[in-house]
Structures are given as C-alpha cells and as structure tokens.
Structure 1
Amino acid sequence: MTDARFITRAFEAICDCGGRLCGTESERAATALLHDLGAEAAGAPVRAEPFAYRGWRPLSCALETPAGPVPAHPLVRSAGGEVEAEVIDLGRGEPESFAAHADEIRGRIALVRHELMFNPGTLHRRIKYRAAVEAGAVGFLIAGPAAGGMVAGSSGRGDEPGIPAFGISPETAAAFARTSAGRPVARMSLETEEFDATADNLFVDLPGAGPETVVLCAHIDGHDLGESAIDNAAGLAVALEAARRIAADRPAGGWRRGLRLAFFNAEEWALTGSARHLDGLTAAERAGISLCVNIDSPVGGAGLAALTCGAAGIEPMLLRAAEARGETLRLHRPFQANSDHANFARAGIPGFRLVAGFGEHDAAARLVLTPFDRRDLVSDAALRRAADLAETITRAALDANDAEAASWRAGMIEAD
C-alpha cells in the first residue's frame, strides 16, 4: 500500500484514453492499459478472454429541424436509414404516454427524455426505444439532461431491423414543440456499418485456500461523448485500488476464497462481455462464485448505494462493512438490469452494483452519457471513499465463513 497516488494515476490514465466506445482505438488503448494496471495492482498475470460480438459504427449522421440542421448523436446499434416525419413529443416516455398516444405514434418520430439512470423506477432508454418500435414509430429521439449537451447510450437493438435513434440536446427537443399549426417535421439520416468483431475481457486470479471465488469487477468500455469518467473510469480505478490494497497483505495460504479481479468489455452493449463470460462457464464454475462485487459509477453523488438485484442475503454483510467505514449505505433490492452484476444474478450468483448518486436528481451522476462526463467531475476524495468501501466489503466476502456465504443466496429473485 505504498503507492498513495496509484488510484489517481490509474484514473487519469484511463480518462486519457478517451470515451472508450467498444470497437474504437480508444477502447483498445484502454484495454491494453488495464492489462498493465491489473498486473501492477494485483502482482499477478492478467488473462485476456476474447469474445465475439456484433460490431457497429456510424459513418454519417444528420438531423434537420424546420430551422435547419442541429447536432445529433446516434445511439449504439441504431439502425441506419433516412426518414422524414412529424415529431410526436411523448415527454418522459413512460408506458402511460405511449398508451395515451397509441393512435398517433405510427409513422411519426418519437421524442422522449433521458432520465437519471440511478434511481428507483427509472425507465431505461432501451425500454422507451422498444416501445417506440412496437408502436410503429419510424424514428426515435432522446433528449439529454443538460443544456448544450447531447446524450449517448445503446438503443438496445439486436439483429432486428429497428429504426434510426439519436440522442439530442434539450434545446433541440424544445424546437420540436407542437403548436396550433401542427407538429414539426424532422429529417433523420444515418449511415452505419455492421461487422463481426471481438473484444477482450480481462481477469487476474489470486487463489484462495478453498475452491470458491469472489469476483471484483468493473467495465472497461464507455461512450464517445466526454471521457466516460464517472461511468466507468472511476469504477475501474476503484476496483484496481481495492485489489491492490487487498493483494498487498495476502496471507501465505490465501484467503478462505480466491479473488478474481475482472474487467468486462462491451457492457454498454447490453452487458455483452459479462454475458459471454458467464455463458462460457460450467455449472460448477458458476456455483463456485460466492459473490460479485461490481463497481460501476461509484462517484458523482453525495451517497453510495448497493443495487442487489434481489439478493437480500448479502445486505447484512454490506451494512456491517459500511458501518465499519462510517458510511450510510443505501440498499435497493428490485432487479435492475443496468450493469454486469445483473448477469451474475441471472446466473444465480449473488452480487451488487456499488453506485453513487442513486436517487439524487441534482448530482453529477445525471451527466453520465453526456459530453460533460469528464474527469473534472471526479474528486480524489470520492475515488478513495469508494475504494475504502469496496475494499472492506471484498475483504469481508473473502473470509466469511461458509454458513454466512451460503446465506448470501437467500431471497434471490428471478430476473424479468
């Protein structure tokens, strides 16, 4: 634990790589960097696990309003195409709005609003996109939360045809206000390229005295607006720092359980990297994972929260660890498929996401996926605070007795 600047150095170096959209040079540079930082932190070799996914890139993107062209950002995996149609403003884009305008959406471009993702009851943009497609919309626009900034993210489209989907600024959304003269018309044009691609998940294994493992993970990739600093350069730096501290005083015989430091890729592409990894494990290997500690956006708000995907059995351990650090930890139990821990939950493995700013609508976390998600939003103190809690929780999990570890699976719910 002698390198007091390791966490800061790691965070800044990851941000230096840029936004890390999967399949870009930025992401590849960050993956190579994490290979080196992982080995440095854990003092052990890093193993790369390549996986296949469907690559995508935008070649051209244009959005025209009645007043002229405006900036727009294509959502990941958006379908290409060219459409010209009236824009129907569906507000937040909740199911009630889609139902109320069911007879008006077909043949129009659906406009909705991005919302704080770290919040009870949040409707993910992929849900809104899917609702627009099912209602017969020919295009999809989602307005960002901050003046002057577009919003990025995944459309959630798989291999189905889909519709063009853009992130826009709130000012552009305001230009599509309905008047007595009718709804304004927009023209969306997007050319894309799709191809077979590969990316790497990275792993460092520190064996324990027994066969079980605790996974401490964070995701590598981000988006090409800003530096993806909160989401998730901060999570990578925190996971590295927690692993570094734990590895530094590893007992001669190992802990009761082994530690696996994991960096998953293509998380922003519907959690693809962790899904591919878990699909490749045997049933016995999955059963040997006691807990997933997922560090994703652990800065950007006043409070820290653990999103447990129904794993009520881990809550006592989490609360004890937080109290030991003088933290008040908010717990959110309903299933939310918003980060890699959700894939572990689907595989029957208890876990949680450590996140900051949950339910804090004015927190910096609201700027995730915008051009403002840059390193200046992140303080060294916030990184260290999250690392302190991640370290304490992971240490508790590594040496918990078998009866306590068995209780962690209590209350797990089936994913929807």
Structure 2
Amino acid sequence: MHLPDAVVGDARTSGFAWDTLTDLVDVGNRMAGQEGERNGAMVVRDAFADAGLCDPHVEEFEIPGWWRGDSVLEIHEPSERVHAGQQDVLALPGCPAGEATGTVVDVGDGTYEEFEARADDLDGAVALASSNTPEEADRWIHRMEKYVNAADHGAVAFLFRNHVEGSVPPTGEVGYHQRPGPIPALGVSREVGARLARYAEEGCEVTVSVDCRNEPTSSRNVVADVGPDTEEAVLLTAHVDAHDISDGANDNGAGSALVAEVGRLLADVDLDTRVRCITFGSEEIGLWGAYHAAETLDLDSVKCVVNLDGAGSSRSLRVGSNGFDSVESVFADVTDDLNAPLVTDDTVSPHGDQWAFVQEGVPAVMTSTVSESSGRGWGHTHADTLDKLDPRDLPDVAVLVAEAVARLASDDAETPHRTRSEMAEAIDDGYVQELKMGGRWPYDDLD
C-alpha cells in the first residue's frame, strides 16, 4: 500500500502539525494530573476534531500526583554557597518533602558497581550521581535505579547531576509505582554537579531541602478513531504530559502533534482496519495513561501499537521494536521505499508507553527520531523548547509514520502476539532488575 500522492502533498504543505505543537507548548506546564495537562488534552481533542477524526473524547483516571514547591541546596563546606530557584535546583518528582544534611559522596555515573564501591561511605551521606550512562554499560541506567540504590545504601538525600552542559538542572520521576520515594532528591546542572564533585574530593557537607506535595489526582487520555468501524484496531499513540519546568516540545509535544497529523492524513486513505489515535496522560511519572488504556481495552483486538515519543528532533526515524519483527519490517519497507534513513533496536525496553502493551505480548514499538542531540539531550530540562525543533521535519516524519500505520492496518499485514511468559523470558536481566527495583515487575504471577 502507498499513500495517495494528494495525501503526501497535503502533508508536505500543511502547517497543521506545527500549529498543534505550537498550541501545546504555549500551554506551558503540562505536568501529569495538573491543570496544564488538562489544557494540553483539550488542545489534542480539538486537533483530533479539526482533523476529522471520529468521536474525539477524553477518558479520565486516577493517578498519584506530585506538586513542586521550593527547593534549596546549601553548601556548607569547603566553600559556602546557596543554590535556590528552578534554574539552580529541581526536586525530582515522586520524592518526598524533607530536609537532610550530610557529606557528599560522588558515585560517578551511578552504576551498581560504583554504588557498591562506595557502600561504606554512603550511610548518612548525600549521594551524587551523574545522569550519564557509561559507554561500557550494556543498557541505559535509569535515574530511578540510582535513586533507589542511594536510599538502599543508607543515603539521606540524592543529587542527580546533568551530564549535558548548559546550566540546566534535570528533572524526572524517581518514585514510579512506589510513591513517595524514601529520601528527598534534587536535580542539579552539570556545572553545579562538577563543583560538588570537586568539593567532594576534599570533604563537602550540604543540606538538601525539598518542599513538595504527593496527593491523589486525575489524569486523562484523549481518544479518537479513523477508518472503518472494525473490531480490530491499530493504535497510534503518544504522551501529552511534560514536566512542569518545561514546554515539552520534543518530549513529547511533537509526538502528540504527529498523532493528530497522521490521523488527519489517514482520514483520506482507504484503510482496511480502524486506527485508534490516543494521547496518554501521565507517561512521565509511571506510564499511568498507557496502563489505563491497556487495562480497559480488549488487547486481543489490538493489532499492534505504534508509539511516538521524541519524534521531532530530525527526519531520521528510530524504531525500538521490542523484538516484534513483524512491525519493524513494515517500517523498514517504508523507509526503503521512500529512501529514508532508519535505525532499529530490538531490545525489550520498559521505557515508554508502549511498554504497557509489550508486557502483555501485544506487538508495540517505540518510534522516535535520531539526531546529534539524541539521548536525553534537552529533555526533562527548561531547554526542551520549540526553537530546538525544525518545522520542516514534522511533515517528513508524518509521511513515514502514516505510510507505516496504513500498511499495518492492511489486511495483508500480520502482527502475531506473544504470550506473557514469552515476554518475561525476553527481557534482559538488567531490565528485570530495574523493573523489580521500581515496583513495576508485572510477572509475579509467573515467578
């Protein structure tokens, strides 16, 4: 199947995706469960309606919410200094409010080996770990693992220092499904982190103060359909929430805008199977929107899931297939036919909304773009803003994704599911460790 020339031409000339993205970033704070996330969901619902999708509506669900207050990092020795304000320090969502004083212990990149090497020093200390994952690691090490390792080794607070320069402290969830976490936690910039690491070599005492709230609230998914009213559906998804300190342009306003744009393009395509467009809430704090969808849908009727996250940084696609070759091969055929680059990875990864479906054996892929700023880059910082993106990229990405989704919706496309036991066996030991540490291991019934 190929998109009609008129549809491709429409994609190349329309400003719909960029306008939707602009509306989303102009909302500002889209933190899960807060007013901005509600407003972002309304932007998407209206975009779905303007795109001609069927029955755009909002589905609400309960989540554990988190609200940021003021945070302070006070350095007592060897040189007194106070870091306050969001350009200096950021509390990490899911941590508790509290204050703790201790000696800074630098655990480098925060690998399991580095924590063990400093185990005797961490009790009663403040652990300092980089956001970097070393090249020799066999997988990405999540901040939550570093946070939990710090607490498990007796640290009274956790400092997460950015490895990307630019005086931007990082934020990001540490509580996940065990909220609130055990110790206060702050993100600090690469520059502040380098100073702390230097001070730690001669003895550095600090006080970490975090003011925040952990309270129940509600989040929301936005849902609409395109194509025939079949029982089976291909899901095209993204998350609309972003961290409260960020416009969330690439992570993940671009993905949400692309879901609306691809839905708009597919409205003019003769599809064999329904495509359900969903933007999830609360991805950044534990994939709650995706879990809500996975728990309320008949998963046997989900043909496959294409999840867009961080898909606005370039025109070069990356597909994390989670071992579902049937979906990856469709993207490979599309990029070959359209002479476009493609990077693939078959690791079964628990990061991203597709995981809620992958864990149940539903074919689901993470689709993003790769660029010089790949990796976390500006994500989860103040700097994830619209000016980092190029409006010329979204049309190319939209065409590639629309072509792939249309082919996946064809009666000729086969996307076999796997069993939960098969998925449990396919997960690397490192990710098994991470999932259990974060309270997210879904296979206790199989153990």
Asked if these proteins are the same fold (TM beyond 0.5), I'd say: yes
Distance 1:409 1:41, change over 3 A: farther
Aligned to 1:394: 405
Indicate which of 295, 307, 313 corresponds to 1:279. Answer: 295
Q: 1:206 touches 1:260 (CA, 8 Å); kept in 2?
A: yes
Task: Give, as a single letter, the amino acid of the residue that structure 2 aligns with 1:121.
Answer: R
Distance 1:326 1:409, change over 3 A: farther
The SS at the match of 2:241 is coil
**Does residue 348 in structure 1 map to residue 361 in structure 2?**
yes
Indicate which of 371, 381, 387 corresponds to 1:376. Answer: 387
Q: How many Å separate the matches in 2 of 1:45 and 1:302?
A: 31
Q: How does 1:219-230 map to 2 (within 5 A)?
A: 219-230=239-250
Q: 1:314 touches 1:409 (CA, 8 Å); kept in 2?
A: no
**Does residue 194 in structure 1 map to residue 222 in structure 2?**
no
**Does residue 25 in structure 1 map to residue 44 in structure 2?**
no
CA deviation digits over 1:168-208, x for unaligned, max 9?
Answer: 11111122135697320111111222222111111102353
Report how far residue 268 of structure 1 moved: 0.3
CA deviation digits over 1:356-391, x for unaligned, max 9?
Answer: 22xx66448511111111000110122122111111
Aligned to 2:144: 126
Task: Give, as a single letter, the amino acid of the residue that structure 1 aligns with 2:289.
Answer: G
**Does residue 268 in structure 1 map to residue 288 in structure 2?**
no
Q: How many Å separate the matches in 2 of 1:345 and 1:396?
A: 20
The SS at the match of 1:297 is coil
The SS at the match of 1:235 is helix
Q: How many Å separate the matches in 2 of 1:131 and 1:200?
A: 32
Aligned to 1:316: 329
- Pairwise CA RMSD of aligned residues? 2.3
Q: How does 1:296-307 map to 2 (within 5 A)?
A: 296-301=309-314, 303-307=316-320
Report how far residue 164 of structure 1 moved: 0.5
Aligned to 1:231: 251
Q: TM-score, normalised by structure 2?
A: 0.85
Q: 1:209 touches 1:256 (CA, 8 Å); kept in 2?
A: no
Distance 1:408 1:392, change over 3 A: farther
Q: How many Å separate the matches in 2 of 1:96 and 1:77?
A: 25
Unaligned runs of 5+ in 1: none
Aligned to 1:73: 90
Indicate which of 38, 45, 70 corresponds to 2:55. Answer: 45
Task: Give, as a single letter, the amino acid of the residue that structure 2 aligns with 1:114.
Answer: S
Worse overlay, 51-60 or 258-267 = 51-60
Task: Give, as a single letter, the amino acid of the residue that structure 1 aligns with 2:175.
Answer: G
Task: Give, as a single letter, the amino acid of the residue that structure 2 aligns with 1:35.
Answer: R
Q: TM-score, normalised by structure 1?
A: 0.91
**Does residue 57 in structure 1 map to residue 67 in structure 2?**
yes
Aligned to 1:337: 350
Distance 1:224 1:180, change over 3 A: closer
Task: Give, as a single letter, the amino acid of the residue that structure 1 aligns with 2:37.
Answer: E
The SS at the match of 2:31 is coil
The size of the alignment, in residue pairs, is: 404
Q: 1:116 touches 1:361 (CA, 8 Å); kept in 2?
A: no
Q: How many Å separate the matches in 2 of 1:273 and 1:15?
A: 20
**Does residue 146 in structure 1 map to residue 165 in structure 2?**
yes
Q: 2:315 touches 2:396 (CA, 8 Å); kept in 1?
A: no
Q: How many Å separate the matches in 1 of 2:153 and 2:34?
A: 33
The SS at the match of 1:339 is coil
Aligned to 2:437: none
The SS at the match of 1:86 is strand
Q: How many Å separate the matches in 1 of 2:396 and 2:221?
A: 26
Task: Give, as a single letter, the amino acid of the residue that structure 1 aligns with 2:401.
Answer: A
Worse overlay, 269-278 or 302-311 = 302-311
Aligned to 1:243: 263
Aligned to 1:413: 423
Q: 1:308 touches 1:332 (CA, 8 Å); kept in 2?
A: yes
Q: 1:345 touches 1:351 (CA, 8 Å); kept in 2?
A: yes
Task: Give, as a single letter, the amino acid of the residue that structure 2 aligns with 1:387.
Answer: A
**Does residue 168 in structure 1 map to residue 188 in structure 2?**
yes
Q: How many Å separate the matches in 2 of 1:370 and 1:115?
A: 15
